[in-house]
Amino acid sequence: MKILLSDDEKSIAITLSDELKSAGHEVVTSADGNKSWDLIQKTNFDCILLDIKMPGLDGLELLNRVKKIQPDLPVIIITGYGTVESAVGAMKLGAVDYVQKPFLNEEIVLILEKIQKFQTLQKDYNRLKEQVEERTEFGNLIGKSKKMQAVYELVESVSKTEAGILIQGESGTGKELIAEAIHYNSFRKEEPLIKMSCSVFPETLIESELFGHEKGAFTDAKGQKIGRFEMANHGTIFIDDIDDMSLTSQVKLLRVLQEKEFERLGGTETIKVDIRIIAATKTDLLSRVKENKFREDLYYRLNVVTIKLPPLREREGDILMLLQHFVQKHSKERDREYIVDPETLISLDNYPWPGNVRELENAVERAIALAGPSNVLKKEHLLKQSAQQVARESEEKNLLTLSEMLEQTERAYIKKILDLCQGNKGEVIKILTISRKSLWEKLKKYDLEE
Mean pLDDT, rounded, for 250-275: 89
Alpha-carbon span 322 to 71, nearest angstrom? 27
Write the DSSP assignment of 80-120 as a string of letters: SS--HHHHHHHHHHT-SEEEESS--HHHHHHHHHHHHHHHH
CATH number of 402-445: 1.10.10
Contact between 225 and 269 under an 8 Å Cβ cutoff? The reply is: no
Write the DSSP assignment of 248-263 as a string of letters: HHHHHHHHHHHHSEEE
Q: Which amino acid is at 89?
A: G
What is the fold of 148-309? Answer: Rossmann fold (3.40.50)
Considering the chain, tell me which residue range(s) the CATH 3.40.50.300 domain(s) occupy: 148-309
Cα dihedral across residues 385, 389, 395, 396: positive or negative: positive
Considering the chain, tell me which residue range(s) the CATH 1.10.8.60 domain(s) occupy: 315-397
Query: pLDDT value at position 390?
Result: 54
Contact between 142 and 318 under an 8 Å Cβ cutoff? The reply is: yes
Q: What is the DSSP letter of 366?
A: H
Going by pLDDT thresholds of 50, 70 and 90, the confidence category of residue 448 is confident
Query: pLDDT value at position 405?
Result: 65
* Whether the predicted pLDDT of 136 surpasses 50: no
- Find which of 10-14, 157-161, 203-207, 342-346 is predicted with most confidence, using mean pLDDT: 157-161
Write the DSSP assignment of 50-72 as a string of letters: EESS-SSS-HHHHHHHHHHH-TT
Read off φ and ψ for residue 109, nearest 5 degrees: -60, -45
Alpha-carbon span 386 to 391, nearest angstrom? 9
Mean pLDDT, rounded, for 157-179: 92
Query: pLDDT value at position 412?
Result: 79
Which residue, 191, 192, 193, 219, is CA-closest to 205? 219
For 53-110, write each residue's pLDDT tens digit: 888 888 888 888 888 888 888 998 888 765 556 767 777 888 888 888 778 888 888 8
Going by pLDDT thresholds of 50, 70 and 90, the confidence category of residue 399 is low
Query: pLDDT value at position 308?
Result: 93
Going by pLDDT thresholds of 50, 70 and 90, the confidence category of residue 385 is low
Mean pLDDT, rounded, for 273-294: 92
Alpha-carbon span 440 to 448, nearest angstrom? 9
Q: Which amino acid is at 354?
A: P
* Whether the predicted pLDDT of 389 surpasses 70: no
Mean pLDDT, rounded, for 116-120: 79
Mean pLDDT, rounded, for 139-159: 85
- H-state helical runs in 132-202: 146-159, 175-184
Query: pLDDT value at position 386?
Result: 53
Query: pLDDT value at position 137?
Result: 44
Contact between 236 and 278 under an 8 Å Cβ cutoff? The reply is: yes
- Find which of 3-17, 234-248, 346-360, 435-449 is predicted with most confidence, using mean pLDDT: 234-248
For 293-318, write each residue's pLDDT tens digit: 999 999 999 989 999 999 998 988 88
**pLDDT above 70 covers what percent of the chain?**
90
* Whether the predicted pLDDT of 134 surpasses 50: no
Considering the chain, tell me which residue range(s) the CATH 3.40.50.2300 domain(s) occupy: 2-128
For 402-442, write each residue's pLDDT tens digit: 666 677 778 877 887 887 787 888 888 888 888 888 888 88
Q: In the beta sheet, which residues pair with residue 278?
A: 165, 238
Alpha-carbon span 51 to 35, nearest angstrom? 13
- Looking at 1.10.8.60, 1.10.1740.10, 2.10.69.10, 1.10.10.10, the CATH number of the domain 315-397 comes to 1.10.8.60
Cβ contacts of residue 105 below 8 Å, gap of 6+?
A: 15, 16, 19, 20, 409
Measured from the Cβ of residue 35, the count of other Cβ atoms closer than 10 Å reads 16
Q: Is 314 left (phi over 0), alpha (psi -120 to 50) or beta?
A: alpha
- Looking at 1.10.3720.10, 3.40.350.10, 3.30.1120.80, 3.40.50.2300, the CATH number of the domain 2-128 comes to 3.40.50.2300
Distance of CA 269 to the CA centre of its chain: 52
Query: pLDDT value at position 272?
Result: 92
Long-range contacts of 417-425 (CB under 8 A, 24+ apart): 418/448, 423/450
Alpha-carbon span 418 to 242, nearest angstrom? 63
pTM: 0.59
Report the relative pairing of strands 212-213 and 225-226 from DSSP bridges: antiparallel
pLDDT averaged over every residue in the chain: 84
User: How distant, in Å, are the alpha carbons of 119, 129, 211, 222, 226 from that of 215?
Assistant: 66, 54, 13, 5, 11
Q: How many CA atoms lie within 13 A of 281 on its CB side?
A: 21
Cβ contacts of residue 63 below 8 Å, gap of 6+?
A: 50, 75, 77, 90, 93, 94, 95
Alpha-carbon span 175 to 85, nearest angstrom? 56
Q: Is 47 helix (H, G, I), strand (E, B) or coil?
A: strand
Query: pLDDT value at position 127?
Result: 62
Mean pLDDT, rounded, for 235-254: 92
Measured from the Cβ of residue 97, the count of other Cβ atoms closer than 10 Å reads 17
Cα dihedral across residues 159, 165, 170, 175: positive or negative: positive
Alpha-carbon span 146 to 155, nearest angstrom? 14
* Whether the predicted pLDDT of 341 surpasses 80: no
For 189-230, write each residue's pLDDT tens digit: 999 999 999 988 887 788 888 988 888 777 777 788 888 999
